[in-house]
Structure 1
Amino acid sequence: MIEAYRNKADKAAAVEKIKFDGVGTRDVYNISAPFEDEGELVIAGRAENRKSEESEVRFFVRRQESWVPREGAPVFTLQDPFYTRIGGELVFGGVQTFPHPMIEHALSWRTIFYKGACIAKLAPFFQGPDQMKDLRLVELPDGTIGVFTRPQGQKGGRGKIGFTKVDDLSQLTAELVEHAPLMDQFSAEEWGGCNEIHVLSNGKIGVLGHIARFDNQGGRHYYPMIFALDPTTGDYTDMEIIAERKDFLDGPSKRPDLVDVVFSGGLIRHPDGKAELYAGISDAEAQKLSIPDPFLKFEK
């Protein structure tokens, strides 16, 4: 997939760093794409100190050339925020960490979901299974809800993507999530997950996600990827890498093993066939990359 991406003629174009102020010495990374809330564009971002994993998710609004915390907005003790809209409501979520119940000095994690008419009215409504990140929801054209999962361990190895559907958010349970059928996409040495789900014009689902692996020295390599899924048949296309670290501007890294990490945050599609990829870079900053719309071909 990396070789196929590097051989493409039409690839990334303009790139820029996204500047955040008002958070002291904290880095802001693993952001969402901008979305509208109460008539204003907002970005959700993971804010944390360079030498810490204690993260807060804050909501930022643009002021001149930088993004600053939105006054009065809630702050969540989460990592890696995301959003969608279901039933006319904002659905927001992130990863909650907590002490591992079996391993001393280790952390476990789960995905937490909130919903409400707007950011100010968000309230929790679902908690995913322990040890599962990258759990995502999407409202399908027929009114049902697609559920993308990512178990690890005995079922998912280092992390594989599953998919199932429910008729209503009230039907979500940890058991249903854990039993979602898995797609056959990753080798045993790879892992990945969904970051943002797009409903395409023909009713298919465009998935923005990531694929990752370790090198022989323990370094992590994360690449933004996409694929399309037919929610009626369950058929899905092969994954494709759509960017890599060297497409972005040079910058800091949280740790040496995270230099080659691009964590897909969100994608804004434009009518001219281009798209903007918002991403966390090296677990230390956020950047925006202009690319050809990777989902356009699935709509033809």
Structure 2
Amino acid sequence: MTRPKETLDCVKLLDEYQRKQARAEKAERLLFEGVEGKDVYNIAAPFEDQGEMVLPGRVEPRDSEYSQVMFFVERSGKWQPREGAPVFDLQDPFHTRIGGELIIGGVQIYPHPDQAGMLMWRTVFYSGNSVSELKEFFKGPDGMKDLRLVELADGSIGIFTRPQGEKGGRGKIGFARVRSLKDLTLEVINDAPLLEGQFSDEEWGGANEAHLLKDGRVGVLGHTACYDKAGDRHYYPMAFVLNPSDGSFTDMELIAIRDRFLPGPAKRPDLRDVVFSGGLVRNADGTAVLYAGISDADAQRIVIDDPFAKFE
């Protein structure tokens, strides 16, 4: 696939973002009830389901990685579990629509088959006409998070992958397309070409949400991440645009950083500087609301410039 103009690492991207003095305003913490003192973080953007706005979130004890995905509705300024909605044993929810049908996904963890005491993970997809009708329809490859689907302008399906290991190192984004969901297979995912040159070998990233733009290109909301010398993690929300016709893509750019959100708790000290892109609600005035998980312990939203408006 086409190489971007320059491979930009986190330090350069952060410097560019700070020099731009980008819009980041109205930071707001989402308040949750009915979760028995557990944290809610790595939320997706809200979506309409059966006439009301529903927000999926990762619900988890502070001292655990075993989480559930729950669906919340807002009542008097606080988000409460939606009555009768399913609860999935997943992490990091996301959603899209394909052929008018709701697609929900998340990361499933399970004991590592070969390493005692270790965990493995995979992305699991559900579909249905509404949240209440969701049924599992596909499991991604073992060891792959950040697997995302998007319906393209011609009705085909774009697939964003994130292999790790021999092919993807710490985690790089790949892209493939199939004619329909029936053609979605592990082989297609595993064989998806990488977006070469997007990440250095020391860093990693993934796609979190895909937006079909007016010209048929795809706006990708994602994250890029790195370790510092002390071993602390740094996660930054980023965006870029991909042309599914030829695989070309724009340079990624940061769209927010931790300091622009409200102060709050962290799951561990090494996760203080983590912003996990959950979802983007684009507004008609050229702004967008970014929903994000903060420091693996908090859920916030912030108003930014729509990173895809300049491409339309």
The TM-score bracket by the shorter chain reads over 0.9
Larger deviation, residues 6-15 vs 158-167: 6-15
In the TM superposition, what is the alpha-carbon distance from 1:169 to its structure 2 partner? Answer: 0.3
Does 2:107 align with 1:92? Answer: no
1:233 is displaced (CA, Å) by 1.3
Shift of 1:216: 1.0
Percent same amino acid among aligned pairs?
62
Distance of 1:228 and 1:252 partners within structure 2: 33
Q: How does 1:119-138 map to 2 (within 5 A)?
A: 119-138=131-150
Rounded to whole Å, the distance in 2 between the matches of 1:171 and 1:10 is 41
Instruction: Find out whether 1:26 has 2:38 as its counterpart.
Output: yes
Give structure 2 stretches of 5+ with no counterpart: 1-12
Normalising to structure 2: TM-score of the pair? 0.95
- CA RMSD of superposed structures (Å): 0.6
After TM superposition, the structure 1 = structure 2 runs for residues 1-300 of structure 1, keeping only pairs within 5 Å, are 1-184=13-196, 185-299=198-312
Please give the alpha-carbon distance, in whole angstroms, between the structure 1 residues aligned to 2:113 and 2:216: 42
Query: Distance between the aligned counterparts of 2:117 and 2:53, measured in 1?
Result: 39
Call closer, same or farther: CA 1:99–1:43 in 2, change over 3 Å: same
In structure 2, C-alpha distance between the alignment counterparts of 1:270 and 1:129, rounded to whole Å:
35
Query: Which TM-score applies when normalising by structure 1?
Result: 0.99
Write the deviation string for residues 11-67 of structure 1: whole angstroms up to 9, x where unpaired.
212111011111011000000101000001000000000001110000000000100
Letter in 2 for 1:77: D
Instruction: Provide the secondary structure at the position in 2 that maps to 1:176.
Output: helix
Matching residue's letter, 1:200: L
Structure 2 CA distance for aligned equivalents of residues 14 and 202 of structure 1? 30
* Whole-Å separation in 1 of the counterparts to 2:80 and 2:34: 6
Secondary structure at the counterpart of residue 106 of structure 2: strand
Residue identity opposite 1:201 in structure 2: K
Counterparts in 2 of 1:186 and 1:259: CA distance versus 1, 3 Å? same
5+ long unaligned stretches in structure 1: none
Shift of 1:9: 3.4
Partner SS state of residue 130, structure 1: coil
The alpha carbon displacement at 1:164 in A equals: 0.4
Q: CA deviation at 1:100?
A: 0.6
Q: SS of 1:7's equivalent?
A: helix
Q: 3-state DSSP class of the match of 1:5?
A: helix
Q: Which amino acid letter does the alignment assign opposite residue 271 of structure 1? A: A
User: Runs of at least 4 residues of structure 1 off by over 3 A?
Assistant: none
2:30 maps to a residue whose letter is: I
